[in-house]
Structure 1
Amino acid sequence: MSVTTTTHLNFRGTAGEALDFYRSVFGGRTVAVTYKDVGAVRNESEADWVMWGEVVGDDGFHVMAYDVPSQLPWNQGENSFFVSVRGDEAEEISALWGKLAEGSTIVSPLEPAQWAPLYGMLTDRFGVTWVLDVTTPYNG
C-alpha cells in the first residue's frame, strides 16, 4: 500500500498558466485536463479551464492545480489550496476517509468518479479541505 500527499492549488481561470510557470521553475512534466476534455462544461466561457492538472518533477517535486468553476465559492486568500491524498487501494483510501470525515463537512462524497475509481472532498473540523482519491493513469 502507498499513500502520498500533494499540495493542490486552486485558481479561477489561471491554473494552466500557473502550472506552466511552476514547470518552468521546477522542471518536469505537466498534465492538464480541461472541463471540456471530460464533458463537464457548465459555463461555456470556462470550457478550457483546468479541471485537473499537475506538474511532476524528476526530483520529486509535485503540485496539483485546478480552476474553481464560477458556481462554486472561491477566495484566493481563503481556499487557495487543498491537501490531496492519493492511494493505490480503495480500502486504504476509504479507511482514511472514514477517519477524516469525523466532524467534517462533506463537500463531495467518496464515490466513483469519471476520472478515478474513488474520489471525495471534505473540509475537516479544523477548516482544512482534503481531496482523497484512488490513483489511476490518465488515458486522455
Structure 2
Amino acid sequence: MTSRLNPYISFSGDARQAMEFYKSVLGGNLRLNTYGDFGSEAPPGYDDKVMHSMLETASGFTLMGADNPPGVEHKPGNNFAVSLSGDDSDELRGYWDKLSDGGTVSVPLEKQMWGDVFGMCTDKFGITWMVNISEQG
C-alpha cells in the first residue's frame, strides 16, 4: 500500500451523520466502527459513537472521521480545511452544490485571479471546504 495524505475529522457526537452526509455528497464506500463494536471496552454511553470511519470514493478521495472520546475537548472550526480539486467541472460543481447547501459560503464558486474557478464554504457540520476547478487552456 502506498502512503497517502487525507483529512481526519473529529466530531462531538455526530460523526455518523456527518460521514453519511459526506458519502451522499462524494459517493463511495463508507466503513464505520463504533466503540460498541469492541465490546466491554466501550466507554459508558459510547456504544453507538463512531470510534473510526473511512470513506473511500471512486475518484480516489479518502476521508476519515470519529467522535472524540470522553474527556477530549472538541475544537471545530478554523484549524483545517478539506480541499477538492481537479478539472472535472461538472463533478466538482456537484460536490460544491451539496456541500454548500445548508452551510455558509465565504468565497462564491467563481473564476479567480489565478484563472481557476474556486470557492470556499463551511458545511452544515462546521467543516470548511475549498473547491478548485482547474481551467484548461
TM class, shorter-length: 0.5 to 0.7
Matched position secondary structure for 1:47: coil
Higher helix share: 2
Aligned length: 80
Could you say which residue in structure 1 is the equivalent of 2:9? 9
Q: Which runs of 5+ in 1 are unaligned?
A: 82-140
Which structure would you say has the larger Rg? 2
Given that 1:13 and 1:46 are in contact with CA atoms closer than 8 Å, whether structure 2 keeps it comes out as: no
Under a length normalisation based on structure 2, what TM-score does the superposition of the two structures give? 0.53
Bigger relative contact order (CA 8 A; separation at least 6): 1
8 Å CA contact 2:34, 2:49 repeated in 1: yes
State the 1:2 CA deviation: 2.1
Q: Which residue of 2 aligns with 1:73?
A: 73
Q: Do the aligned partners of 2:6 and 2:63 also contact (CA within 8 Å) in 1?
A: yes
Runs of 4+ in 1 over 6 A off after TM superposition: 78-81
Q: Distance in 1 between matches of 2:80 and 2:64?
A: 12
- Give the match for residue 43 of structure 2: 42
RMSD across aligned positions (CA) = 2.0
Q: Which runs of 5+ in 2 are unaligned?
A: 82-137
TM-score by length of 1: 0.52
